[in-house]
Amino acid sequence: MTQRLPPQTEIQQTERILTKKEVVTMSLPLKELISYGQTQLENAGIEDAARDARGLYCFLDKLDNVGLMMHWQDVLQDNQCEAYFELIGRRAGGEPFQYITGTQEFMGFTFHVNPSVLIPRQDTETMVEDAVELITKGSLRGEEYAKASAIKEVLDLCCGSGAIGISLAKLCPKVKVTCSDISGEAVKTARGNAAALGCRSVKFEEGDMFAPFSGKLGKKKFDMIISNPPYIASHVIPSLQREVKDHEPMGALDGGADGLDFYRRIAEEAAAYLQKNGLLMLEIGCDQGGTVPELIENSGRFKDIRCLKDLAGKDRIIAARLRGKKDK
């Protein structure tokens, strides 16, 4: 006889949580299966358990939310229950939702992600929006900052999935974009994203920071360098959410003892790879709005240094212009 899973209220009240074996040997209505999945995620401390429980089934059965509702009362077979339970188990164990599904939306585009790259976040979209404004209008948050026509080549340094550079290539198709990362797997992922999104003109380089752009013929120069480098202090990493500290690539998180190692290198080296009047844009941690601008200013190579806030009102982006020979 086929067993039936108790309703959600009864699941939450029972002292014993049903085992995986008990669940996967049932033929369950979809509504009850997702209710059970949500309970498992809640018990594991997942913040948005309801969203993830539904999202994982949509991913499994290739449905959107409307399709999910249309099948809400469908009775599922054992193999469907087992496949769903496997996904719930991975999420309950702390694996990020985006790594399970393999995708993340960014700037309206779908990017493939995996454990070799950071998951693109909404905070970074703010920097891309600012960069698009600079490229297309020459302004920054509505104020004149640069000549729009002057930005023809952009370097996405520490590119990871390529979300920043590829988004700029999609939104500003006249601009030549190069993406670079020290991780070969990250570059491979970024290259795949560019191909999937039809950005065949984007170039890719693998190497440590600016190393790929310094050769026998001199240094390759860009009109804009944009970067979201590792910026978390080493001692802070153990306190991060388990989804981050246990699953996202440490090399893309750890910014050294004080979180500033990569900014020091950029402050000292970036000027040599910028064209006249070149622009520098950096994402920073919300507590680095004082230290990073100071590093850039102390390098003596940049002017018009600005710290911009994200949608939450936190310091998030640094913009700076290369000093010219006539600048004091």
If one counts every other C-beta atom within 10 angstroms of the C-beta of residue 119, the result is 22
What is the domain partition of the chain in residue ranges? 8-93, 106-322
State the CB neighbour count (10 A cutoff) for residue 47.
10
Residues in the chain: 328
Predicted pLDDT at 256: 97
CATH code for the part of the protein at 106-322: 3.40.50.150
Long-range contacts of 38-45 (CB under 8 A, 24+ apart): 38/8, 39/8, 39/11, 39/12, 40/88, 40/89, 40/92, 41/88, 41/91, 41/92, 43/17, 43/92, 44/91, 44/92, 44/93, 44/94
Does residue 42 sit in helix, strand or coil? helix
pTM of the model: 0.89
At 14 the pLDDT is: 34
Structural contact between residues 187 and 206, judged by C-beta atoms closer than 8 angstroms: yes
pLDDT in tens, 53-110: 999 999 999 999 898 989 888 888 888 889 999 999 999 999 999 999 999 999 999 9
Residue 119 identity: I
The pLDDT, as a whole number, for residue 22 is: 54
pLDDT for res 15: 37
pLDDT of residue 75: 84
Cβ atoms of 229 and 158 within 8 Å: the answer is yes
- Evaluate whether 37 touches 88 at the Cβ level (below 8 Å): yes
Task: List the chain residues with pLDDT less than 70.
Answer: 1-27, 148, 216, 328
Is residue 259 within 8 A of residue 233, CB to CB? The reply is yes
Q: Would you state the pLDDT for residue 191?
A: 98
Distance, in Å, from the CA atom of 25 to the CA atom of 46, rounded to the nearest integer, reads: 25
- Pairing type for strands 203-206 and 176-181 reads parallel
Q: Rounded CA gap, 328 and 239, in Å? A: 43
